[in-house]
Amino acid sequence: MANDGLAHTVNREAESGRMEFYGRANQQHLAPLWRVLGGLVLESPKSPCIPALWKWSDVRPYLMEACQIITAEEAERRVLVLENPGMPGESRITRSMFAGMQIILPGEVAPAHRHVASALRFVIEGKNAYTAVSGERTMMAPGDFVITPSWTWHDHGNLSTEPMVWLDGLDMHLVNLMDAGFRDGYPDKTHPVVRPEGAADAEFGYNLLPVDYKPGSQTTPIFNYPYTRTREALDRLARFYPIDPCFGFKMKYVNPIDGGWAMPTIATWMQLLPKGFKSMPYRSTDGVVFVCVEGSGKTTINGQVFNWGPHDVFTVPSWTFYEHEASSDAVLFSFSDRVSQEKLDFFREQRGNA
Ligand code: GTQ
């Protein structure tokens, strides 16, 4: 039994006389709460995650090498998992979030499957490769944010002559926490294409909805938020909107049906940090994954400095102060479990450490 969880009210000296009782109780699968309470109900979050940075210049050669040793089809998904160094072997970048770099070569197909976990794709490099969701393809370009909703058939293909790389973010650790996971393989390599490319954008991408539309899930029906439009929004916002001292110009991706977050479990944002901007310290209960899209800068996380540039990924643990500084106009994509925390009334944040 771990002693560090001992409730602070417990007299440590008296514990030796209670051991015999604890031993007998254990045989009945009974355990004294007062020996573990301190570790179960925490004074403040104590994350096993540590701040970490993955430089694109370090990651890319490993992705290319992975292509030499296994095909997308054999791997099912050829992904190098970004593992938080505080939780090696657990396939977690934060406690609740999975992140991995997926690479698909010209002509390859990542076969169709579906699972309860939802996925986001944030495109790093390449063009003319697609993700198909429920029989509709979307071509992906760098900076695009693409969603695979829970339990939808999806496959990926690359019709170009260059490798395609994107960052996957999945919520399977939340699904698994609740033992609610299922998966299913499609009988064929790909799901038939049943809707034209751009169908979802036509239905939902113009602040208009088909008049009889009825939502079928809590995920946004838009499954590609193209970077060209996101970048334009940030650029235009920055010309008139008051800058936020913690976030610069930061926008969240929303579901046009209800104005809520785009995904039911994963919150997603894009932010513009103008050249020279230095943010005020901030912390929140959601561990966050950041991807640099453009520009460069540094983020100081609990006193530790991480310099980043295009395609670098870094993570900030829960309840850890961080501040950004942009050395050129910089754009950061980010995601976290914040939407889940908000639904459960867990979320807290603190602006400024004074
Ligand atoms: O593309 O469906 O990184 O199922 C991990 C699990 C990607 C995917 C991942 C997956 C996928």
Q: Say yes or no: CB of residue 82 within 6 Å of ligand 1.
A: no
**Which residue has a Cα nearest atom 11 of ligand 1?**
77
Q: How many whole angstroms separate alpha carbon 294 and alpha carbon 201? A: 25
Do 163 and 64 touch, CB atoms closer than 8 A? yes
Residue of 170, 182, 183, 289 to test ligand 1 pocket, by largest number of atoms within 8 Å of CB: 170
Q: How far is the CA of 82 from the centre of ligand 1 (A)?
A: 13
Q: Looking at the CA of residue 183, tell me the nearest atom of ligand 1.
A: 4
Q: How many whole angstroms separate alpha carbon 277 and alpha carbon 262? A: 28
Residue of 93, 98, 102, 122 to test ligand 1 pocket, by largest number of atoms within 8 Å of CB: 102
Question: For residue 1, what pLDDT is reported?
Answer: 42
**Which residue has a Cα nearest atom 9 of ligand 1?**
168
Residue of 63, 76, 78, 79 to test ligand 1 pocket, by largest number of atoms within 8 Å of CB: 79
Residue-wise pLDDT for 270-304, tens only, equals 999 999 999 999 999 999 999 999 999 999 999 99
Q: How many whole angstroms separate alpha carbon 332 and alpha carbon 289? A: 10
Q: Say yes or no: CB of residue 168 within 6 Å of ligand 1.
A: yes
Residue-wise pLDDT for 108-162, tens only, equals 999 999 999 999 999 999 999 999 999 999 999 999 999 999 999 999 999 999 9
Question: For residue 174, what pLDDT is reported?
Answer: 98
Domains of the chain in start order, with CATH, are 1-43 (no CATH), 56-204 (2.60.120.10), 225-351 (2.60.120.10)
From residue 345, alpha-carbon distances to 141, 193, 217, 339, 352 in Å are 36, 40, 21, 10, 22
Question: For residue 2, what pLDDT is reported?
Answer: 44
Question: For residue 57, what pLDDT is reported?
Answer: 98
Do 295 and 329 touch, CB atoms closer than 8 A? yes
Which residues are registered as beta bridge partners of 236?
none
Question: For residue 4, what pLDDT is reported?
Answer: 78
Question: For residue 176, what pLDDT is reported?
Answer: 98
Q: Say yes or no: CB of residue 125 within 6 Å of ligand 1.
A: no
Q: Say yes or no: CB of residue 133 within 6 Å of ligand 1.
A: no
Q: Say yes or no: CB of residue 171 within 6 Å of ligand 1.
A: no
Q: Looking at the CA of residue 81, tell me the nearest atom of ligand 1.
A: 3
Residue-wise pLDDT for 225-263, tens only, equals 999 999 999 999 999 999 999 999 999 999 999 999 999
Residue-wise pLDDT for 44-95, tens only, equals 999 999 999 999 999 999 999 999 999 999 999 999 999 999 999 999 999 9
Residue-wise pLDDT for 307-339, tens only, equals 999 999 999 999 999 999 999 999 999 999 999
pLDDT above 60 (res 3): no
Q: Say yes or no: CB of residue 163 within 6 Å of ligand 1.
A: no
What stretch of H or E contains 202? helix 199-204
Residue-wise pLDDT for 16-33, tens only, equals 999 999 999 999 999 999
Q: Write b or e for each residue in 152-173: b if 16 or more Cβ atoms lie within 10 A of its Cβ, otherwise e.
A: bbbbbbbebeebbbbbbbbbbb
Q: How far is the CA of 77 from the centre of ligand 1 (A)?
A: 6
Q: What is the mean pLDDT of residues 180-204?
A: 97
Question: For residue 354, what pLDDT is reported?
Answer: 79
Q: Say yes or no: CB of residue 172 within 6 Å of ligand 1.
A: no
Give me the residue label for tokens 């102060």: 321
**Which residue has a Cα nearest atom 1 of ligand 1?**
77
Q: Looking at the CA of residue 110, tell me the nearest atom of ligand 1.
A: 1
Q: How far is the CA of 231 from the centre of ligand 1 (A)?
A: 26
Q: Looking at the CA of residue 156, tell me the nearest atom of ligand 1.
A: 1
Q: Looking at the CA of residue 154, tell me the nearest atom of ligand 1.
A: 2
